Structure 1
Amino acid sequence: MVAGETSGDLLAGLLLDGLKARWPSLASGGIGGAQMAKRGFDAWWPSEKLAVRGYVEVLRHYREIVGIREQLKQRLLAQHPDIFVGVDAPDFNLDLEAALKAQGIKTVHFVSPAIWAWRADRVEKIKRSVDHVLCIFPFEPALLAAHGISATYVGHPLANVIPAQPDRAAARRKLGLDEGDTVIAILPGSRKSEIQYLALRFFRAAALVKRAQSAIKLIVPAVPALKDQILRIASEAGMLEHVQITDGQSHTVLEACDVTLIASGTATLEAALFKRPMVIAYNMNWLSWQIMRRKKLQPWVGLPNILCRDFVVPELLQDEATPEALAEAVLQWIEAKSSAPAKIAAVEQRFAALHAELQRDTSTLATDAIQQILES
């Protein structure tokens, strides 16, 4: 297995639960993180090695990443595992899967590359690389089938992990927050490059929010490996004494908050499953942005908006993601709590419907599909 970042590690860990329940003596190894390790996964390289986003950023690490992939390929070809499961990370996994499949190793890709959102040209590469795709969104299998790619909808694992009815009060007790507090969760990303491009903007926006409403509580769930970087940037923004920075606990923080200022990515879906209003933002290297925006096929970038096919929550991207604009968008949600509660309720209802649509017995469905590939 290969999972290339924090969200992939989480998905792979949940998949391993199903695989180990079906095959208790299962042995797994490759590239993974802490959640996979808890399930007995043997990580030959840590998933953080692949946690790079953006064309220019990848180029900086290109030689190391390609070297890891070549070493991994040779090791897998020598060991010839029963099956290889690539979890997301398509830029890394699809080429690896193609090489393994060509040598008779069965390959499964968990999380369909978002050909419906951008890079539709990737579909032929998927067809060449994998025996089966495990899809986390309900519309994807039919889209892939139209191109001759075998796929199964397995639901989104996070929809089973996150409760349908979040317990805000309990989450606040865990974090030492009062039930009556107004709480903003700040999630500037889980990759070093995301923190580099987003955290200072987020903290400067938080300073403006705090200036407007001094009683607001600000909390940041930091990926432990990136906590020092976040602390340094919070200090640079003059906000170190005004924010609560936790080691991880992103789910608890999202459950506790009223609103979140959040980097585009899987975390936005987590926030939606917790039924929280949000402001989605993203900023990256200018050249990477120019390349990516030309490949975009839909008007939305945030997963909640893509899945609802509507701008349910605001998106502020690249040059639009100024501290002033971010702060204003966050304060609009805060003010809506008292002045327009129906607006908050409407968002909660949309996200509750989305939660129900994504909720399936993912581990079992994915394991069933993998077993069929093994027996085919």
Structure 2
Amino acid sequence: MTAEPRFAMVAGEASGDLLAGLLLQGMRRRWPALAADGIGGARMAAQGFEAHWPSDTLAVRGYVEVLRHYREIVGIRSQLRDRLLRQRPDAFIGVDAPDFNLDLEAALRAERIKTVHFICPSIWAWRADRVEKIRRSADHVLCIFPFEPALLAQHGIAATYVGHPLAGTIPMQPDQAAARASLGLGAQDRVVAILPGSRTSEIQYLAARFFEAAVRMQRAQPAIKFVVPAIPALQPAIESAARAAGLREGLQIVAGQSHTVLAACDVTLIASGTATLEAALFKRPMVIAYNMNWLSWRITRAKQLQPWVGLPNILCRDFVVPELLQDAATPQALAEAVLGWFGAPEKITALQQRFTALHHELLRDTATLATDAIQKVLEG
């Protein structure tokens, strides 16, 4: 291993770019002259990463949706594999995106390129059969939840618990007043954060429902205010969905700033995914919702191993926040579930205590632990 290692990395969608950016920041402290390239986004680029394709190229969820983009995605993977076999980086690090990364890792590992997978696929929640692919693909797995290394060890897979990097970036006690001031919101305002997702398909299936729910909430409580943190590329679609629902007054759509919005809100209506864990770390009550193509939903549901879908509920092993999925995610049901939090201060206090305990459990020096594990892989 040289003092200037070269890494190849792939991160899909916004959440993977965020996690990979935090990982790169820690790696660069160890190896200031490292080089890294592959597939990534703006947060990785800020750490000197060279993206041959943007991370949102892989931002597709659902079986039917993936089929529509299958040829393009497989073509990108083939091109990247051939490039990496020529360049032979010191290690490949796949950040989440298991459907893309595990096959790529298997091909690289077969050619003696070392592979690390960051974020264990959720084999404890669904698709337990994927464990065999992980064993073929990854020299080492960096786990963000404490129970995962023991589970992988049962299958002969080397793994390290590194904590969740978001737990170190989100304050234990978020400053709601400062967040509200930065968004022009008052201390006494009732604020709902609406997060309909970071993928085009999520906006397609969720945004209309979320904004129609907001209209119903506003009829019940006219003073309520809604804030939407939007990925810039998706902002026009989000604005269009809000207009179509008839939501104009009391609505603020901001570019990015999801953490500021979560810190500022009282409650969030949120798409299932990594953002729900961010909301939990901000100690915010939430209503989790999801809707997708009906065939993708049926296939996904059949592979589910636990009764929960949202990460906060999975980690707390209880329905600590409502989940309204597929046909249950009607605008009326979403509105009632969100408004229900405003009348339950004791329930909110209990939830905040559970989320604080979860935050402490996930809080580790992720960058250092992950870099230590990567260095051991490099040293063989």
TM-score interval for Structure 1 and Structure 2 normalised by the shorter chain: over 0.9
Q: What is the CA-CA distance between 1:335 and the residue it aligns to?
A: 1.9
Asked if residue 254 in structure 1 is aligned to residue 262 in structure 2, the reply is yes
- More deviation in 234-243 or 301-310? 234-243
Asked if residue 24 in structure 1 is aligned to residue 32 in structure 2, the reply is yes
Q: Distance in 2 between matches of 1:157 and 1:318?
A: 30
Q: What is the CA-CA distance between 1:241 and the residue it aligns to?
A: 3.8
Q: Distance in 2 between matches of 1:218 and 1:11?
A: 27
Deviations 1:226-256 (A, max 9, x none): 0011011111111134410000100000000
Q: Distance in 2 between matches of 1:190 and 1:213?
A: 28
- Of the three residues 347, 352, 373, the one matched with 1:369 is 373
Matches within 5 A, 1:344-355: 344-355=348-359
- Of the three residues 282, 292, 298, the one matched with 1:290 is 298
Aligned to 2:347: 343
Task: Tell me the number of residue pairs that the alignment of Structure 1 and Structure 2 aligns.
Answer: 372
**Preserved contact between residue 223 and residue 250 of structure 2 (Cα < 8 Å):** no
Report the 3-state secondary structure (helix = DSSP H, G, I; strand = E; otherwise coil) of the residue aligned with 1:113. Answer: coil
Aligned to 1:196: 204
Asked if residue 168 in structure 1 is aligned to residue 168 in structure 2, the reply is no
Deviations 1:185-240 (A, max 9, x none): 00000000000000000000000000000001111001111001101111111113
Asked if residue 145 in structure 1 is aligned to residue 153 in structure 2, the reply is yes
Report the 3-state secondary structure (helix = DSSP H, G, I; strand = E; otherwise coil) of the residue aligned with 2:252. Answer: strand
Q: Distance in 1 between matches of 2:66 and 2:378?
A: 34
Aligned to 2:113: 105
- Of the three residues 107, 111, 125, the one matched with 1:117 is 125
Asked if residue 238 in structure 1 is aligned to residue 236 in structure 2, the reply is no
Deviations 1:274-300 (A, max 9, x none): 000000000000000000000000000
Give the ranges of 4+ consecutive aligned residues of structure 1 lying more than 4 Å apart after TM superposition: none
- More deviation in 232-241 or 214-223? 232-241
Report the 3-state secondary structure (helix = DSSP H, G, I; strand = E; otherwise coil) of the residue aligned with 1:20. Answer: helix
- Structure 1 counterpart of 2:373, one-letter code: A
Matches within 5 A, 1:260-339: 260-336=268-344
- Of the three residues 138, 144, 165, the one matched with 1:136 is 144
**Preserved contact between residue 224 and residue 250 of structure 2 (Cα < 8 Å):** no
Report the 3-state secondary structure (helix = DSSP H, G, I; strand = E; otherwise coil) of the residue aligned with 2:187. Answer: coil
**Preserved contact between residue 231 and residue 240 of structure 1 (Cα < 8 Å):** no
Aligned to 1:66: 74
- Structure 1 counterpart of 2:305, one-letter code: L
Q: Distance in 2 between matches of 1:241 and 1:180?
A: 18
**Preserved contact between residue 271 and residue 289 of structure 2 (Cα < 8 Å):** yes
Aligned to 1:186: 194
Q: Distance in 2 between matches of 1:194 and 1:236?
A: 17
Structure 1, unaligned runs of 5 or more: none
Q: Distance in 1 between matches of 2:127 and 2:251?
A: 38
Asked if residue 359 in structure 1 is aligned to residue 367 in structure 2, the reply is no
Percent of matched pairs sharing the same residue: 76
Q: Distance in 2 between matches of 1:218 and 1:46?
A: 30
Asked if residue 39 in structure 1 is aligned to residue 47 in structure 2, the reply is yes
Aligned to 1:6: 14
Asked if residue 208 in structure 1 is aligned to residue 219 in structure 2, the reply is no
TM-score where L is the length of structure 2 = 0.97
- Structure 1 counterpart of 2:362, one-letter code: L
- Structure 1 counterpart of 2:374, one-letter code: I
Q: Distance in 2 between matches of 1:68 and 1:96?
A: 11
RMSD (CA atoms): 0.5
- Structure 2 counterpart of 1:331, one-letter code: L
Report the 3-state secondary structure (helix = DSSP H, G, I; strand = E; otherwise coil) of the residue aligned with 2:343. Answer: helix
Report the 3-state secondary structure (helix = DSSP H, G, I; strand = E; otherwise coil) of the residue aligned with 1:39. Answer: coil
**Preserved contact between residue 8 and residue 87 of structure 1 (Cα < 8 Å):** yes
- Structure 2 counterpart of 1:182, one-letter code: R
Q: What is the CA-CA distance between 1:18 and the residue it aligns to?
A: 1.0
- Structure 2 counterpart of 1:64, one-letter code: E
Structure 2, unaligned runs of 5 or more: 1-8
Q: What is the CA-CA distance between 1:265 and the residue it aligns to?
A: 0.2
Aligned to 2:6: none
**Preserved contact between residue 87 and residue 110 of structure 1 (Cα < 8 Å):** yes
**Preserved contact between residue 195 and residue 229 of structure 2 (Cα < 8 Å):** yes
Report the 3-state secondary structure (helix = DSSP H, G, I; strand = E; otherwise coil) of the residue aligned with 1:240. Answer: coil
Q: What is the CA-CA distance between 1:342 and the residue it aligns to?
A: 1.4
- Structure 2 counterpart of 1:85, one-letter code: I
